[in-house]
């Protein structure tokens, strides 16, 4: 079999460091949250889709499964999570409370979610209400008919899952433009995207993730780069968008690596040209420790001897690698 073509390095674009947001679905929501709590001064907005509270797993897979997806071991222990956060803060492993309090947070969850129980989403609402300076900085939407996934209105050759069923490709036909709703929450009123609004897959480029070495990262990531953001430095904004489990790229045996469905059909790309918005789609990979290609929100990517993994802190391996990607994009060419 011919060797895979190596994609180029992630470019330095000089993007605005003042206008950055992160959003994710399922395990990607947990990862977006970990970034925002670790470095709140670097982000203006956070989006949590079919996800739960920061630090929910407390570094234990059993807790992740029993309290942060289902509820068979009870509800998330928000008091224990706050103690974890305070310990990190005393060690300078997360950002200041004042910076965290300034975030704008958008939360979306389906009431028929059979993967991450809606009660877990409500626990995240309670957590963020306690952290934000004003409850008006939080918008929480619980869709009565939605299952597990990310709703989109993008028309493409990707078959969407039924709204209430959820499941692969975890892109839901709920007649809901979640990308537009999140961007409105972050940036203010937007003109609605037309169904066929221009978003060229040619602007969705692969890049080499191997230099951002961290356990659980795929070799290839993707970047939606509008033409204007190649030419105008220090003006374009950045949103970091995280897929969920079973949604990552398969770059193991394809000479022409194809963007995954989430990177093509999240809906974020449709707004990129008009908003001057670069969309970073980092990619996780499947492994024996992580068979569904999830982002690390319970500690699998840290050293096996660590009793208390630091995956949800600034010292987390994946968090550090992802922040290095952001630094590169905001670095002057």
pLDDT in tens, the chain (333 residues): 344 568 999 999 999 999 999 999 999 999 999 999 999 999 999 999 999 999 999 999 999 999 999 988 889 999 999 999 999 999 999 999 999 999 999 999 999 999 999 999 999 999 999 999 999 999 999 999 999 999 999 988 889 999 999 999 999 999 999 999 999 999 998 876 665 555 678 899 999 999 998 999 999 999 999 988 987 666 899 999 999 999 998 876 656 688 999 999 999 999 998 899 999 999 999 999 899 999 999 999 986 656 679 999 999 999 999 999 999 999 988
Which of helix, strand or coil describes residue 41?
helix
C-alpha angle with apex 10: 99 to 276, nearest 5 degrees? Answer: 60
Residue 98's contacts (CB-CB under 8 Å, 6 or more residues apart) are: none
- Residues 10 and 278: beta-carbon distance below 8 Å: no
* C-alpha dihedral sign at 310, 315, 320, 326: positive
| 20 φ/ψ angles, rounded to the nearest 5 degrees | -135, 140
Cα–Cα distance measured from residue 243 to residue 28, given in angstroms and rounded to the nearest whole number: 5
pLDDT of residue 2: 41
Cα–Cα distance measured from residue 33 to residue 173, given in angstroms and rounded to the nearest whole number: 25
- Residues 63 and 73: beta-carbon distance below 8 Å: yes
CA distances from 300 to 10, 76, 308 (A): 26, 20, 11
pLDDT of residue 3: 46
- Residues 38 and 288: beta-carbon distance below 8 Å: no
- Residues 71 and 117: beta-carbon distance below 8 Å: yes
Which of helix, strand or coil describes residue 284?
strand
H helix or E strand, kind and range, residue 218: none
pLDDT of residue 1: 35
Partnered with residue 143 across adjacent β-strands are: 110
Residue 304's contacts (CB-CB under 8 Å, 6 or more residues apart) are: none
| Locus of tokens 């203006």 | 44
Residue 139's contacts (CB-CB under 8 Å, 6 or more residues apart) are: 105, 106, 107, 185
From 184, 193, 248, select the one nearest 216 (Cα to Cα): 248
pLDDT of residue 232: 61
CA distances from 9 to 20, 279, 306, 329 (A): 21, 16, 32, 11
């Amino acid at each position: 079999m011919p060797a895979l073509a190596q994609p180029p390095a992630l470019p330095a674009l000089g993007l605005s460091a003042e206008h950055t947001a992160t959003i994710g679905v399922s395990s990607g929501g947990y990862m977006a949250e970990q970034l925002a709590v670790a470095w709140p001064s670097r982000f203006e907005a956070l989006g949590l889709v079919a996800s739960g509270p920061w630090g929910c797993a407390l570094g234990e897979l059993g807790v992740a499964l029993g309290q942060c997806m289902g509820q068979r071991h009870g509800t998330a222990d928000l008091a224990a999570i706050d103690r974890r956060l305070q310990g990190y803060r005393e060690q300078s492993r997360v950002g200041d409370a004042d910076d965290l309090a300034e975030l704008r947070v958008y939360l979306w969850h389906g009431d028929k979610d059979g993967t991450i129980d809606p009660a877990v989403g409500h626990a995240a609402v309670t957590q963020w209400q306690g952290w934000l300076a004003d409850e008006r900085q939080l918008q929480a939407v619980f869709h009565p008919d939605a299952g597990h996934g990310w709703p989109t209105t993008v028309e493409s050759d990707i078959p969407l899952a039924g709204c209430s069923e959820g499941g692969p490709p975890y892109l839901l036909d709920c007649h809901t433009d979640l990308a537009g709703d999140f961007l409105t929450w972050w940036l203010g009123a937007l003109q609605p995207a037309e169904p066929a609004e221009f978003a060229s897959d040619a602007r969705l480029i692969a890049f080499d993730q191997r230099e951002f070495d961290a356990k659980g990262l795929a070799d290839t990531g993707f970047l939606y780069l509008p033409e204007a953001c190649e030419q105008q430095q220090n003006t374009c904004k950045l949103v970091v968008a995280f897929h969920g489990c079973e949604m990552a790229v398969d770059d193991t045996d394809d000479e022409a690596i194809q963007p995954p469905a989430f990177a093509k059909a999240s809906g974020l790309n449709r707004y990129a040209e008009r908003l001057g918005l670069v969309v970073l789609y980092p990619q996780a990979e499947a492994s024996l420790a992580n068979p569904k290609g999830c982002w690390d929100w319970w500690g699998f990517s840290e050293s096996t001897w660590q009793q208390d993994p630091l995956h949800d802190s600034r010292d987390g391996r994946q968090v550090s690698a992802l922040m290095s990607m952001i630094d590169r994009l905001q670095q002057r060419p």
